[in-house]
Amino acid sequence: MDQEEDLPISKLFRSFREVNQVFHQTVSKTAEGLGVTPIQFFVMKTLKHHPRVSLTELAERIHIGNSATSGIVDRLVKSGMVMRERLESDRRSIALKLTPKGEAFLQQANDNAMKRMSPLSDLPADVVDELIRIHQLIIEKLQEVERGKDL
């Protein structure tokens, strides 16, 4: 085995990548089982928590370019899950929001995702708390580097 693979940073990175991959696969199976792509599901979840956003704001929130976001939204509008509406304050601007069909779909998708992830509810509370504490510590350490403190 490569010495670099034994480093704590490498082990952490590999572990996070593996966990992220399993979460992504679970969400993908849930979304695809309901006839949408994982990114469409993510867009709908974002619109649920941030209704009436512009296309540009949505693109920023999901970390995808405006053009790609526009295509995703177009497909969701065609399927009746998302609607565009003109803002009263600026008739040139358009806000995006879920339709009632989109809201119902998202509720069903969330229910299905939670069922798939239900084995995680068996984790002891102290283990979850410790994991979250460690995640927070990692975030803080990496943010310190970003702010230039430990370079």
pLDDT score of 6: 79
E strands, 7-144, in order: 82-86, 94-98
d(CA 79, CA 81): 6
CA 78 to chain centre: 22
Report CA-CA distances (Å) from 114 to 34, 68, 89, 117: 14, 28, 39, 5
pLDDT score of 2: 65
pLDDT score of 109: 87
Whole-prediction pTM value?
0.69
For residues 148 and 135, which has the higher predicted lDDT (pLDDT)?
A: 135
